[in-house]
Amino acid sequence: MPQYLSVFKDETKLDITYIPGRLPHRDRELRLLMEFFSFILQFPAKMAQRVIIFGDVGTGKTVLSQRFGVDITHEANKLGINLRYVHVNCREYRGSLFLILYHIVSVFHPTFPRRGYSAEELLRILLQILDEENAYVILALDEFESLVERESSEAVYKLTRLQEIRQDKPQRLSLICILRDLKTIEKLDSSTRSTLQSNIISLVKYSKQQLIDILNDRVSLAFKPLTVPEDTISLTAEIAFSEGGNARFGIELLWRAGKYADAEDLDVVTPECVRRAVSSIIPTMRKSDLASLSFHEKLFLLGIARIFKEGQKAYISLTDAEQAYAVVCEEFNMKPHSHTQLWKYLQTLSGVGIVETEVSAAGNRGRLTLIYLSRIPIHELEKELSVLLEKEEV
């Protein structure tokens, strides 16, 4: 039986639950979180903290909070402070304060009965447990929108103002609220808003280069050496950037591309593996878009497809595309159109989302137009174009 070979070294490093040891381009935000909560390492009973982390999907909100949680609890434990970081996805608990509080209580008492208590009673029980164990909790409420949408201001008010009912007692519970849009906070009443909005960390979308750095970091952890070429990482970053700078999407795409490479017994994860992976997540090739192209636009696109198929590249130049187009024209006994006309074809193909372009610096030669296909597997594109062109020839 042949030995199974894989491009992966440890694919779990690409899993959504994995918390990397370092966070490229989120160092500043991680330091800021540690600063906000530094009191826990000095005088934990004297105060509680509330922080908001917000940003679009894939900007690293969850992993930032989780990395912080690992780091702060490690530091606290070294100092003999009984600190727990509890991360709760509010959507998974249907935005219910009762279910969220029950989960936290069960962290300390796994067999705690689920029935017979209200949310208010669970909150009192939680504080009692923390007092008994001399423990502190940083509660991260991920997808905080779900809690606000279901329970409005009342639930948030209870969490943020609970210390007021515990005069002269240690402050045990701090909050991190993780959400996509600060507009969610506007739905809360003014007194509740005022307790939340003092410490806000905003995560901006990653740039393409930042995404390349993040993907390179994960590749070094998850894949065997030299199995993921630079072109493959660049193309994956390009696609993730087009999806709003979504690092999570890019990491998932790398994992899927690695699976396609393994399925075909490839030694490397090629750009074509990435195209196949993205087409399995976002089916983008509509046959009607290809059918509506003019004859020469199809010839031009066929030439582009063949270059990618032969070279396993992620990017080609417009000059390369023109040369391939000329070869295809000869095959179909057609006279090639001019450079200006091909440029217009390229704009059309880009406009309907079949190809994408990028202008790159090219040293002494000036600026170079690069063409790439990110979402359509080459073999599918070539096959469909061949069928359409044969029909038009008849």
pLDDT digits (tens, 9 = 90+) for 290-346: 888 999 999 999 999 999 988 778 899 999 999 999 999 999 999 999 999 999 999
pLDDT digits (tens, 9 = 90+) for 196-245: 777 999 999 999 999 999 999 999 999 999 999 999 999 999 999 998 89
Structure tokens at 371: 């063409």
pLDDT at residue 364, rounded to an integer = 45
What domains appear along the chain, each with residue ranges and CATH number? 26-203 (3.40.50.300), 206-281 (1.10.8.60), 287-393 (1.10.10.10)
Confidence band (pLDDT; 50, 70, 90) for 1? very low
CB 237 within 8 A of CB 201: no
pTM for this one? 0.83
Structure tokens at 213: 């750095």
Structure tokens at 90: 């509010």
- Angstrom distance (rounded) from CA 91 to CA 114: 19
Q: Nearest-CA neighbor of 273 among 297, 255, 291, 250?
A: 255
Structure tokens at 380: 């599918």
Q: Output the CA–CA distances (angstroms, integers) from residue 322 to 312, 328, 332, 394, in the order listed.
A: 18, 10, 15, 25
